[in-house]
Amino acid sequence: MPKMDGIEACMKIREERNMPIIMLSAKSEDIDKIQGLASGADDYLSKPFNPLELIARVKSQLRRYKKYNIETESNKSVIKIGNLTINTDTRQVWINSSEVRLTPKEFDILELLARNKGIVLSVDKIYEAVWKENYFKSDNTVMVHITKIRFKIEDDPKNLIYIKTIWGVGYKI
């Protein structure tokens, strides 16, 4: 490897990703294998190796990865922000383990804001994303829906935790 060795590459990948890593190396000493596995590799295979063995090891790692990462995959449909939980598959919302009933549009707005946590979305962007039509005039449709959502999910209307108004710009979670 021209810019970094396998150990460095493995460590760099592990900083950001959780995926199977199999090291293939000409180094076959025990210390090399130990360093490779200690750096984050899931398996280590020394050259020369049997290609069928490599295929078996790849399948084994993928099988294990899929089995133990199912929860992570399914959690893509669950958004948690503080005590607020949104399940986009079942279209349910909970605050402190109590279910909150939202209309379809309220749910769509809340999901849009939650998926864009920290990003300020303008009223026209919210309207166009939820109603799927162009925003032409300044009516209060989005503001009324936000008010209803806040009434349902916020404990104290004077101390808003979830949906913040950014005056003159829009809303954000």
pLDDT at residue 172 is higher than 60: yes
Structural contact between residues 155 and 101, judged by C-beta atoms closer than 8 angstroms = no
Instruction: Write down the mean pLDDT value for the chain.
Output: 89
Band the pLDDT of 138: cuts 50, 70, 90: low
Band the pLDDT of 21: cuts 50, 70, 90: very high
The residue-averaged pLDDT of 142-163 equals 89
Residues 6+ apart with CB under 8 A from 119: 172
The residue-averaged pLDDT of 101-129 equals 95
Which pLDDT value is given to residue 128?
93
Exposure string of 77-104, with b = 16+ CB inside 10 Å and e = fewer, is eebeeeebbbeeeeeebebeeeebebee
Domain boundaries along the sequence of the chain: 6-68, 76-172
Does the model's pTM come out above 0.85? no
Fold of the domain built from segment(s) 76-172: Arc Repressor Mutant, subunit A (1.10.10)
Which superfamily does CATH assign the domain made up of 6-68 to?
Response regulator (3.40.50.2300)
% pLDDT > 90, the chain: 67
